[in-house]
Amino acid sequence: MFDPKANKQPKAPIVPPSKSSPGQLAMTPHAVPSDSKIRERAYELYERRGCEPGQDEQDWLYAERELLKQER
């Protein structure tokens, strides 16, 4: 007979999050770029590529990464 309790793994201890260290990016509302800033930068990237369609998601993600680095 199958005993579901016999196969249970011990639970990992719950550790409260530590305060952010200098090497970590604290995600506060001030550190996250607004959608309008990302949209503007993504459009600049689109124009730089010669206005070729089909890479809007890549432009958005690249713009978001760029702006996050600037906020640090």
pLDDT tens, 17-48?
Answer: 555 555 555 555 557 899 999 999 999 999 99
CB 42 within 8 A of CB 60: yes
For residue 68, pLDDT beyond 60: yes
Cα 25 from Cα 19, distance rounded (Å) = 11
Average pLDDT over residues 1-25: 57
Chain position carrying tokens 């998601």: 57
End-to-end CA distance of the chain: 57
What are the domain boundaries of the chain?
Answer: 27-72
35, 29, 30, 38: which is closest to 58 by C-alpha? 38
